[in-house]
Amino acid sequence: MRWSLRRISAVWAAKITEKISIHIFRRQGAAWAGKIALKICPSILHELAGQVGRGIFAVCGTNGKTTVNNLLCAAIEAEGYRVVCNHTGSNMLNGIASAFAVCAGLDGNLKADYACIEIDEASAGRVIRHFRPDYMVLTNLFRDQLDRYGEIDTAMKILGRVMRQAPEMKVVVNGDEPLSAFLAMDSGNPCITYGIHDPVRACDPFREIREGRFCRRCGTGLDYHFYHYSQLGDYYCPKCGFQRPGLQFNACNIEFGKELTFTVEDKRIHSAHKGFYNIYNILAAYAALRTAGLGGKHFARVAGSYEPENGRMEEFWIGGVRVMLNLAKNPAGFNQNIDVVMQDENIKDLLIVINDNDQDGRDISWLWDVDFERLKRTATGSVMVSGLRCSDMMLRMKYAGIASEIEADVRKAVKRSVREGCGNLYVLVNYTALYDIRNILRNCR
């Protein structure tokens, strides 16, 4: 344990900033605390990460980062360890620095066994300069906010570089997703795979945009024995032999009944959250846990009782009305959300809120890549659209053949949907709307 006045001041400054600003500015507060800490002590992240006793996980990928990271953290804590985690999903350099600084003691030292850190793809290169993770979890790669991140190729380049810079880092990867799997296998890093080996009776098939149609190794069109969704499935290249790798952690005996159940290794997992993608999220956390050599004795219990927060299938009850809030920020995520809505056989209302602030991506053309048309086949009471780009969303619904109501004011839209609806409301929102709506719903509760 070493003392550093600089680090102590940085830790104190971060703690104070976070305390004050998180109340006023919510999530951005975390980023500011980290920014100040790094200003005072530029090596703080390096130093504190060095104090993590047993291992650091970096959770990357387009969708599922926050859920996987928080579930992994809960699972490790259940094994009796202390964990640093950027719970809020503040996943750029400043947010990550803040997670470490705020978790440190007043003496500027960190007492943690593990760190679970989700990292924004575009920031991964900057973060890796401060510390080397022992494990990377790579969930999937989809198109996301093209105006901010650029094409998927850009994210792949950055992540590939990170893997090469940390050649000992074990990569826990979704083997069903060809882009992620290729990246991990091509890196030369030790690779651990998870996935769903056999076809599953999922939602009805529909025409989705699939990324990575061409073999990354040789450029030939990939063939599939079957798809799970998007480009996830059992793929193979007819020319060079690139194919889905063997799956070390396989989910089998999958059932979508009252709840989602499946088996991985010797554990039967039950989850209240039935989205197909949720299998992958749980599997990713489990595979990471096991890769670190932990037994996962408590994993089934943790996963079963895990209540997502931060608006990832977060449930609210407001005067007898059930409200499910979920983030939907790109076509793959949105299509999966629609699956969840359609699995609910009860009648439901829908509120879709779309903003185009910088953090959302200013380009919302992806709304036309989402298969809203499918919603015609499920019983909806009402559909309301809101947010900065509500008139775009309404137009999208018109061309999907679905009538909707418009209420630009988010607060009014939420209140109306809750008050006038059928008692079962799904709220699907993109990034910047999420925090406002969460607060509105919490205050209603």
3-state secondary structure of 62: coil
Q: Which of 122, 146, 200, 402 binds another protein (CB under 8 A)?
A: 146
Q: Exposure string (b/e) for 32-53, b if CB count within 10 Å is 16 or more?
A: bbbbbbbebbeebbebbbebbe
Judge contact between 70 and 84, C-beta under 8 A: no
Q: If binding means CB under 8 A, how many residues of this protein chain bind another protein?
A: 28
Min dist CB 356 to another protein, Å, is 8
* Cα separation, 123 vs 139, whole angstroms: 16
Crossing angle of the two packed helices 178-187 and 152-165, in degrees rounded to 10: 30
Residue placing its CB nearer to another protein in the complex, 229 or 306? 229
Measured CA distances, 410 to 41, 334, 345, 351, 416 (Å): 40, 19, 27, 10, 10
Min dist CB 35 to another protein, Å, is 22
Judge contact between 431 and 327, C-beta under 8 A: yes
Residue placing its CB nearer to another protein in the complex, 265 or 363? 363
Q: Exposure string (b/e) for 256-267, b if CB count within 10 Å is 16 or more?
A: beeebbbebeee
Q: What's at 301, amino acid-wise? A: R
Catalytic residue of the set 147, 153, 198, 363: 363
Judge contact between 294 and 76, C-beta under 8 A: yes
Min dist CB 361 to another protein, Å, is 10
Q: Determine, following the binding rule CB under 8 A, whether residue 317 of this chain makes contact with another protein.
A: no
- Positions in 224-253 near another protein (CB under 8 A): none
Residue placing its CB nearer to another protein in the complex, 297 or 398? 398
* Cα separation, 378 vs 369, whole angstroms: 19
* Cα separation, 81 vs 402, whole angstroms: 50
- Positions in 382-441 near another protein (CB under 8 A): 389, 391-392, 394-396, 398-399
Residue placing its CB nearer to another protein in the complex, 105 or 150? 150
Cβ neighbours of residue 42 under 8 Å, at least 6 residues apart? none
Residue placing its CB nearer to another protein in the complex, 15 or 216? 216
Could you tell me which residues are beta bridge partners of residue 315? Answer: 324
Judge contact between 179 and 231, C-beta under 8 A: yes
Min dist CB 334 to another protein, Å, is 12
Q: Which two tokens stand for residue 178?
A: 């060809």
Judge contact between 109 and 78, C-beta under 8 A: no
Instruction: Calculate the CA 133 to chain-centre distance.
Output: 19
Min dist CB 249 to another protein, Å, is 31
- Positions in 324-383 near another protein (CB under 8 A): 362-369
- Positions in 204-223 near another protein (CB under 8 A): 209-210, 213-214, 219, 221
Min dist CB 191 to another protein, Å, is 24
Q: DSSP character for 375?
A: G
Q: Nearest-5° angle of CA 403, CA 429, CA 63?
A: 125
Q: DSSP character for 94?
A: H
* Cα separation, 344 vs 270, whole angstroms: 17
Min dist CB 214 to another protein, Å, is 7
Min dist CB 29 to another protein, Å, is 27
Binding mask 85-104 for another protein (x = CB under 8 A): --------------------
Residue placing its CB nearer to another protein in the complex, 19 or 213? 213
Residue placing its CB nearer to another protein in the complex, 152 or 196? 152
Binding mask 147-186 for another protein (x = CB under 8 A): x---xxx---------------------------------
Binding mask 107-126 for another protein (x = CB under 8 A): --------------------
Q: Which two tokens stand for residue 382?
A: 């009402």
**Residue 363: active-site member:** yes
- Judged by CB under 8 A, the stretch of 16-24, 140-148, 157-165, 435-443 that binds another protein is 140-148
Residue placing its CB nearer to another protein in the complex, 153 or 315? 153
Which positions are catalytic? Answer: 363
Footprint of another protein on this chain (CB under 8 A)?
143, 146-147, 151-153, 209-210, 213-214, 219, 221, 362-369, 389, 391-392, 394-396, 398-399
